[in-house]
Structures are given as structure tokens and as C-alpha cells.
């Protein structure tokens, strides 16, 4: 009986041992497969993080489909799910590992059982590929911290194109070797222009944009003005273009008609299309070679050559016959097979098959005849009906199509490629936008210098101090000694000395306190640029200075999108220990931590606001002298008006409201040459201190000059510039939707910040044209 039980116990023991062993082997294999899958999904993991802490589950992703571009903003999207009780938290993001910490954060509250999505916009710098993400409960308890690795794209040859359409299967022709295409739904369109900064072109066809939120429409408008290209295709009911009427451009529909068209294709354009098709076929064959190498090399060998495989071309060592990769593959494939599998060039048979069905055919389209105010057509039917037209908006472009851009796949090779080429050829010049960005950096640097000129935190008047000190020495020393040396009351001098010392000490103290900063002060500089339709866009910068060391907040209720100035980065001077930008809905707050006394921080408005009309001008420059007239449509006067062209500055003086300033005699207005080596400070003193009718402090003169100099540095030689200033304390009228303008620009937004305020507002208008001619250049009043 004992042997029987002993046998049963041994059997059970061995069975349990086998089960434990199999379980361990299964777990080891499962962990290995997880690690392998994790390594294979590294591209996905580089885009975001996912975590659960308690009842809070959060998925955080950077970029659209992981696409991140250097020097642009990246959208950070956080999907939050709460399975427990109410939760109040803060999501903090620190970009890179720089010497100056600039933290972006977003506060949120989420009730139990609810889900919500929050979005933040973070600048992508050059210092690091990492975003540090921290989740706080309240503002004290850290419940998660992690990193997002950004897979930044440094390929500037591709045109990043966003597409919003009814059926992406019908706009696939926009994809190719020269474009990086991302499909976005209406819900994915950001409410902030920075969420579109990574795109060069955005195409909309067969989508009802009338249901967009006002903030989404405003974001698209701001993005176009900053250099983007927006393509709107009217598919029949004007639902794509209606939201922008009166805000971005004016239009009217005359009629609709059916047409059979080949979109103006000819032999020259067909030759170009064949080159594009062959290039794309070659790119597809290169992708096949990459997939072949990825699937047939060992993991170790693939990791070793991964970088070169991703940049594969005809000179790559990894496909040479005497290379390590070729020798490894020759174990399983013959020389003939490898010659075929690793070839990057199309064979004659492949070229013939690729171009076999390429021919010009007409297709049926429904054309909407649209009259776009200020637009220029670049594709018409033989009967003269406009199909495509374009219009410049700020640094960007608007392209309006009278036909739907959705095409069946059979039309992609010819018509699709041709339409794509037309749109890209007429998009905003990326080189011009880049150059404008470089000029903008120079302009920002000048503006930042101007913002540091204050009326408050300066030293006492040393000249007045020396006068008081001299009088004190004269009274108590020479005069008292002279008149009292023989007097029997000469001992009174011991009373005169302390009394006079007290009186002059008070006078010197008052001299200092009259210029001492008390509390917080704000310096602001506003620049309004009017375009050729008389529409103004406001750019604002301001500097906040505190009277004592410590922490303080700058909050803008319903205010503009704020961002940091880069003055401190350029100098390398670390003024603050902590900076936090709180991005919120309807409110932005900059938390400034432990700033030394009298030091400040520069902030910029990133939201453009429209101003209708204001100025009409017809100006010519003949033999470096001025001729023409300027009409001020504002109800108030414009101060210190002037015209600048190729280093010459022509001073006009003030123009009263509703008045026309006519330059009847060209000899009456003489210009002064501004040279690069010239002392700008002395020139500004002469311009605003002597010529101007308005008495201005030296600080105000220098701030005005900062605005004017920034404008001069940011113009082309061919431009004729009209410039003027808004009177101090004058509210600017003529804003499109005045209440929103007050909320979105510094003129109204500064009212939300407590403290003394001082600054200048300038109006600039470009008149592109030629000098030495009598031709006028007219800016029309009203909106675009």
C-alpha cells in the first residue's frame, strides 16, 4: 500500500514539474515574441506612449500619423479615459534637453466614466528628438513620467500635402515620390494654425466644410496667410468654399455647365507626365528591393545595413556584388535571380508596360463658373470658361477649382498627374516662404530689442543729481563758511548742515523714485500689415517686466496664442529658472518663475486678426522723387506717414482722418538715404524728434524706430512701402468682427493684464511695382 501511494506521489510530482517547465518555456517564448514585435513596431512607439495609472488610462501621440518636421510645431494629442471617480490633473510637456526649460502644460478635469481628448502644440527644435511627458494629479503628485521619441523628417524635397475629401480612393493620384500625403477628416482639422504648420499644401474636395467650427476656419485662414497653400474644389453646392466668404476671399457663382475636357493636355505636358510615371514606377521598384532585403536578411545583418537600405540608390554598397549583403543572399538565390531582385532600374519591357495605356482622353466634368475677386485663372477650357484660379493671400496662396478633384483610378496616370502638377506648380513658393521666415527672425530680433526700451526701469537723471549735489556743496560749504566765519552765530552751521543734508537727500530720492518701476509694466509693439486688398493682419509682441524678484503669471482671457520670444536664447543668458506656458480653451497663461528684479520675458501673439480697408494709395517714384496721393479712410489721423523704397525714406507728416494727401509737386518731398552703416539712433532722433510735430520721449522715439527698422529689414528691393503710426491711446477701428479682434489681439488682450502699459502701433502697406515709371499702384479699400 505504501509503495502504491509512493508511486502516485512521484507521478504527480513529475507531472507538476513538466507543467511548470512548459509554462516557463511558454513565457520565455512569449516574452521573446513581445520584444521582437516591440522592435518591429518601433516606428509606432516613436510616435507616442500609452499608460494606465489607477483609474486613468491615457494614449499620447505626437504628430499626424507620426509625421514630425524640423522647425515646425507638432500637435500632441492625448486621449484620456477615466474608469473611476472624478479626476483633476495637469499634462506637462518639456521639449528637448535645453539649458532653458520651457514647459508647456494643459490642465483638465474629467469625471468618472468619461473620455476626452486634449491637444497641445509644441515647437520642434534642433536640440533633441525627445518630448518629456509628465502627468500630475492636482499640481503636486506625479503619477506618470515618460518620453516620446520624435521621428523627425529631414527630407525637404518632399511637399507635405494634406487631403480632406469625400473618398480618398479617388484622390490617390496626389501620392507619389515628390509628395508626402496625409488624409485628414473634418474632425482632425485643428483649431489652431500651428496644427497645420507641418503641411505645405492642403486640398479639399467633396467635403461639407460648412459644418466646421469657427476656430477651425480661422486656423485655416491663419495658416494660409503664414505661407500655406489651400486648394478648394467646388463640387456643386459651394459647401467647400462657403465658410471662407468674406473672411478669406469674396466669390460669386454665375452658372454651372457640363463639359468634356482633357484639362488642356498637349504633347509637352504628356512628355512631362510620362517622366513622372516612370519616376514613380522606379520608386516603386526601389521599394520592392527594400522589402526583399528586409524579408531575406537576418535580423543582425539588416540592423547593420538598415540606414543604407532606407536611403537605397544605385551607388549603395549593400547591393554591390562584392559586398557582405550580396554574399549572404547568394547562399539561397542564384546570380540571375539576384540581378533581377536587386535591380533598381526599369527594364525595357517594364517601361513599355508602364507607358502602354498612357494617352490623352477627354472625361466628363461638371464645371461651376466662379468669379473669385482678385483671382487669376491658370487653366481654362477652349471656350474660355475658368477651371482653376489662384489668389495670393499674405505669404500663402488660395487655389479654387470649379470642378471636383475626385477622379476614377483609370484617369490617375494622365489627368490625375497633370492636375497634381498644376496644383504644385502654382502653390506658394516654398523658397519665398523660407526666406520670409529668415527675415522674420531678423525682424523679431529688432522688435525684441525695441521691447527692452522702457520708460520705467532706468537709472535716475544723473545730470539733475549732479546739479543738486553741486548746489548742496555750494550752500553748505563755500557760502555758509564765507558768511558765518566772522559771525558770532557761526555755531548755527551745525544746524544748517543736517537740515540742508536732509532737504537735498529728499530731493535726490525723489529724483530717483520719479523713474523707478513700481509694480508690473508692459511694453508692446504692434505691427499691422495691409495687403493689396486693403486687408490688415495684426502681429503683436510684448514684454512683461516685474518690479521684484519672484513668480508671477501673465493670463489672457480669450486671448491670443502666445509664444516665447527668442532674445534670451540668442544671448545665451539664463534669466529665469522656470517657464510654463499653460495652453487652455479660451485662456492662455504664461507662468514666469523666479525672474530677477527688472528683468522681463518677451511674448508674441501667434493669431492674426483682420482689418478691413483703411488706406488707399497710388504712388510712383520717378528719379528717386515721390509722386501720387494717399487717402486715409480711418476716422482718425495717421501720424508721421512716410514712404520707403530702396534705402530712401520720404517723410510726409500727418494725414487727417477721411483726408487725401496729394503729392502735387515732386520737388516738395525729398528723401533721405538710409545706409547700412548709418547711426540709426541719430537718424531716428532726426526723423521723430525734429520733423515730427509730436513731442516724444527718447524711449518712445526708439520704440517707433524699432517698428520702422523691422519693417525695412523685411521688404524686397522692388517694394514701395507706405508706413504710418496710430496716435497714442487711439482705439483702432475697422476690425472684422470687432469683439473677436479685441479678444485675439494685443490691443484688446493687453487690457486683461494688470500694470502700466506703453507701446506703439504701426501700419505698413506694400506696393509692389517699379520705380522710375509713372504707373500708379493702387490699394483698394475694403475686404478681400
* Spans of all domains in the chain: 44-142, 159-265+360-428, 268-354, 462-513
pLDDT attached to residue 399: 94
Rounded Cα distance between 47 and 61, Å, is 6
Give percent helix, percent strand, percent coil of the chain, each to the nearest 5. Answer: 35, 30, 35
What separation, in Å, do the N-terminal and C-terminal C-alpha atoms of the chain show? 104
Task: Report d(CA 750, CA 737) in Å as an integer.
Answer: 18
Q: Count other Cβ atoms within 10 Å, centred on residue 13.
A: 10
Q: Cβ distance 727 to 691 under 8 Å?
A: no
Contacts of 298 (CB under 8 A, 6+ apart): 328
Which letter, b or e, does each residue of 308-343 get, where b requires 16 or more Cβ atoms within 10 Å of its Cβ? Answer: ebeebeeebebbeeeeebbeebeeebeeeebeeebb
> What is the number of other CB atoms lying within 10 angstroms of the CB of residue 488?
7
Contact 60, 76 (CB under 8 A): yes
> In this predicted structure, what is the pLDDT of residue 313?
73
- In the DSSP assignment, the letter for residue 286 is H
For Cα atoms 306, 308, 312, give the angle at the middle one, nearest 5 degrees: 115
Cβ atoms 710, 730 nearer than 8 A: no
Q: Is 516 helix (H, G, I), strand (E, B) or coil?
A: coil
Residue 244: partners with Cβ closer than 8 Å, 6 or more residues away: 217, 220, 221, 232
Distance, CA of 708 to CA of 113 (rounded, Å): 56
Nearest to 758 by CA among 523, 427, 518: 523
C-alpha span between 9 and 6 (Å, rounded): 5
Supply the pLDDT for residue 488: 67
What DSSP state is assigned to residue 346? P
196 phi and psi, to 5 degrees? -110, 0
Q: Which of 443, 583, 466, 636 is nearest to 525 (CA)?
A: 443
Residue 752 DSSP code: G
Per DSSP bridges, beta strands 115-123 and 152-153 are unpaired
SS3 of 68, please?
strand
Determine the distance from the C-alpha atom of residue 500 to the mean position of all C-alpha atoms in its chain, rounded to a whole number.
Answer: 61
List, in sequence order, every residue forming a beta bridge with 587; answer none if it has no partner: 557
Amino acid 252: pLDDT: 87
Q: How far apart are CA 464 and CA 374, in angstroms?
A: 60
Rounded distance between C-alpha atoms, residue 87 and residue 80, angstroms: 11
What does the alpha-carbon distance between residue 42 and residue 3 come to, in Å, rounded to a whole number? 58
Residues 6+ apart with CB under 8 A from 171: 163, 165, 203, 205, 405, 406, 407
What is the pTM for the complete model shown? 0.69
CATH number listed for the domain at residues 44-142: 2.60.40.10
Supply the DSSP symbol for 611.
Answer: E
Burial class for 29, CB neighbours closer than 10 Å (0-12, 13-18, 19+): exposed
> 474 in helix, strand or coil?
helix
Q: How many CB atoms lie within 10 A of CB 380?
A: 14
How far apart are the C-alpha atoms of 339 and 335, rounded to whole Å? 6
Distance from C-alpha of 352 to C-alpha of 267, rounded to nearest angstrom: 18
Q: Can you give the length of the chain in residues?
A: 784
Please enumerate in sequence order all residues whose Cβ is within 8 A of that of 729, keeping only pairs 6 or more positions apart, or say none: none
At a CB cut-off of 8 Å and minimum separation 6, what does 429 contact?
A: none
Fold of 159-265+360-428: Rossmann fold (3.40.50)
CB atoms within 10 A of CB 615: 21
Short-list 201, 193, 198, 243, CA closest to 223? 193
| CA distance readout (Å), 296 to 325, 330, 336, 342, 343 | 10, 11, 17, 12, 16
CA distances from 217 to 75, 125, 189, 210, 241 (A): 17, 27, 9, 9, 11
Handedness of CA 726, 732, 736, 740 (dihedral sign): positive
Mapping DSSP onto H, E and C, the string for 77-114 reads EEEEEECCCCEEEEEEEEECCCCCCEEEEEEEEECCCC
**Are the C-beta atoms of residues 733 and 657 closer than 8 Å to each other?**
no
Q: How far apart are CA 696 and CA 157, in angstroms?
A: 51
Residue 779 has, within 13 A of its CA and on its CB side, a CA count of 32
Question: What pLDDT does 701 receive?
Answer: 92
Residues of the chain under the 50 pLDDT cut: 31-46, 99, 566-576, 666-667, 746, 748, 770-784
Judged on CB neighbours under 10 Å (0-12, 13-18, 19+), 93 is buried
Query: Where is 595: in which H helix or E strand?
Result: strand 587-595
Chain centroid to CA 482: how far? Answer: 73
Do residues 721 and 711 make contact, with C-beta atoms less than 8 angstroms apart? yes
**CA 190 to mean position of chain CA atoms:** 13
Q: Give Cα separations from 288 to 276, 281, 283, 297, 406 (angstroms).
A: 18, 11, 9, 14, 28
Amino acid at each position: 500500500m505504501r509503495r502504491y501511494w509512493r508511486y502516485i506521489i512521484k507521478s504527480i510530482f513529475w507531472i507538476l514539474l513538466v507543467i511548470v517547465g512548459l509554462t516557463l518555456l511558454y513565457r520565455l517564448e512569449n516574452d521573446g515574441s513581445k520584444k521582437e514585435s516591440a522592435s518591429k513596431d518601433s516606428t509606432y512607439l516613436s510616435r507616442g506612449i500609452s499608460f494606465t495609472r489607477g483609474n486613468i488610462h491615457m494614449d499620447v501621440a505626437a504628430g499626424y500619423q507620426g509625421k514630425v518636421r524640423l522647425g515646425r510645431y507638432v500637435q500632441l494629442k492625448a486621449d484620456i479615459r477615466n474608469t473611476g471617480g472624478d479626476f483633476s490633473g495637469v499634462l506637462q510637456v518639456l521639449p528637448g534637453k535645453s539649458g532653458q526649460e520651457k514647459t508647456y502644460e494643459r490642465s483638465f478635469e474629467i469625471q468618472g466614466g468619461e473620455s476626452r481628448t486634449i491637444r497641445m502644440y509644441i515647437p520642434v527644435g534642433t536640440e533633441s528628438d525627445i518630448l518629456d511627458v509628465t502627468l500630475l494629479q492636482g499640481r503636486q503628485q506625479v503619477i506618470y513620467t515618460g518620453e516620446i521619441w520624435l521621428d523627425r523628417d529631414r527630407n525637404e524635397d518632399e511637399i507635405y500635402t494634406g487631403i480632406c475629401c469625400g473618398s480618398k480612393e479617388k484622390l490617390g493620384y496626389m501620392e507619389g515620390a515628390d509628395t508626402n500625403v496625409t488624409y485628414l477628416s473634418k474632425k482632425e482639422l485643428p483649431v489652431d494654425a500651428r496644427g497645420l504648420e507641418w503641411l505645405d499644401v492642403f486640398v479639399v474636395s467633396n467635403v461639407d466644410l460648412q459644418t466646421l467650427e469657427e476656430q477651425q476656419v480661422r486656423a485655416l485662414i491663419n495658416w494660409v496667410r503664414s505661407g500655406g497653400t489651400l486648394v478648394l474644389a467646388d463640387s456643386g453646392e459651394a459647401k467647400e468654399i462657403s465658410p471662407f466668404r468674406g473672411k478669406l476671399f469674396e466669390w460669386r457663382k454665375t452658372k454651372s455647365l457640363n463639359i468634356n475636357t482633357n484639362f488642356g493636355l498637349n504633347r509637352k505636358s504628356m512628355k512631362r507626365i510620362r517622366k513622372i510615371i516612370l519616376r514613380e514606377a522606379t520608386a516603386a521598384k526601389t521599394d520592392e528591393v527594400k522589402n526583399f532585403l528586409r524579408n531575406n536578411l537576418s535580423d543582425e545583418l539588416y540592423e547593420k545595413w538598415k540606414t543604407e537600405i532606407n536611403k537605397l540608390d544605385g551607388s549603395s554598397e549593400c547591393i554591390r556584388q562584392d559586398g557582405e549583403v550580396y554574399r549572404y543572399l547568394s547562399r539561397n538565390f542564384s546570380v540571375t535571380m539576384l540581378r533581377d531582385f536587386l535591380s533598381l532600374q526599369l527594364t525595357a519591357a517594364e517601361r513599355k508596360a508602364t507607358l502602354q495605356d498612357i494617352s490623352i482622353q477627354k472625361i466628363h466634368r461638371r464645371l461651376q463658373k466662379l468669379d473669385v475677386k482678385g483671382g487669376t485663372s491658370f487653366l481654362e477650357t477652349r471656350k474660355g470658361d475658368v477651371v482653376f484660379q489662384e489668389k495670393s493671400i499674405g505669404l500663402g496662396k488660395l487655389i479654387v477649382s470649379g470642378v471636383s478633384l475626385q477622379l476614377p483610378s483609370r484617369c490617375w496616370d494622365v489627368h490625375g498627374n497633370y492636375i497634381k502638377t498644376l496644383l504644385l506648380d502654382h502653390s506658394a513658393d516654398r523658397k519665398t516662404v523660407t526666406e520670409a521666415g529668415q527675415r522674420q527672425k531678423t525682424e523679431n530680433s529688432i522688435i525684441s530689442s525695441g521691447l527692452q526700451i522702457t520708460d520705467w526701469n532706468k537709472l535716475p537723471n544723473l545730470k539733475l543729481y549732479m546739479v543738486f549735489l553741486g548746489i548742496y556743496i555750494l550752500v553748505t560749504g563755500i557760502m555758509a563758511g564765507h558768511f558765518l566765519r566772522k559771525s558770532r552765530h557761526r555755531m548755527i552751521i551745525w544746524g544748517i548742515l543736517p537740515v540742508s543734508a536732509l532737504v537735498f537727500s529728499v530731493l535726490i530720492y525723489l529724483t530717483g523714485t520719479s523713474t523707478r518701476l513700481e509694480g508690473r509694466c508692459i511694453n508692446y509693439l504692434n505691427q499691422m500689415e495691409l495687403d493689396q486688398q486693403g486687408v490688415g493682419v495684426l502681429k503683436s509682441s510684448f514684454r512683461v517686466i516685474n518690479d521684484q524678484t519672484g513668480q508671477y503669471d501673465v493670463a489672457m482671457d480669450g486671448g491670443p496664442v502666445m509664444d516665447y520670444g527668442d532674445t534670451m536664447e540668442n544671448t545665451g543668458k539664463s534669466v529665469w529658472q522656470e517657464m510654463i506656458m499653460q495652453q487652455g480653451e479660451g485662456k492662455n497663461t504664461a507662468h514666469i518663475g523666479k525672474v530677477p528684479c527688472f528683468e522681463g520675458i518677451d511674448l508674441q501673439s501667434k493669431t492674426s486678426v483682420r482689418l478691413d480697408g483703411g488706406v488707399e494709395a497710388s504712388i510712383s517714384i520717378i528719379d528717386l522723387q515721390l509722386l501720387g496721393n494717399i487717402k486715409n479712410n480711418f476716422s482718425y489721423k495717421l501720424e508721421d506717414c512716410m514712404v520707403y523704397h530702396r534705402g530712401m525714406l520720404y517723410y510726409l507728416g500727418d494725414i487727417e482722418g477721411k483726408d487725401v494727401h496729394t503729392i502735387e509737386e515732386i520737388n516738395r518731398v525729398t528723401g533721405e538715404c538710409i545706409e547700412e552703416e548709418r547711426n540709426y539712433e541719430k537718424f531716428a532722433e532726426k526723423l521723430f524728434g525734429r520733423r515730427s510735430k509730436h513731442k516724444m520721449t527718447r524711449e518712445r522715439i526708439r520704440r517707433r524706430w524699432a517698428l520702422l527698422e523691422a519693417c525695412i529689414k523685411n521688404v524686397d528691393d522692388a517694394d514701395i512701402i507706405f508706413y504710418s503710426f496710430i496716435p497714442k491711446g487711439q482705439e483702432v477701428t475697422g476690425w472684422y468682427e470687432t469683439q473677436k479682434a479685441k479678444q485675439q489681439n494685443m490691443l484688446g488682450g493687453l487690457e486683461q493684464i494688470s500694470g502700466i502699459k506703453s507701446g506703439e502701433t504701426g501700419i505698413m502697406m506694400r506696393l509692389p511695382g517699379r520705380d522710375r515709371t509713372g504707373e500708379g499702384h493702387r490699394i483698394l479699400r475694403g475686404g478681400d
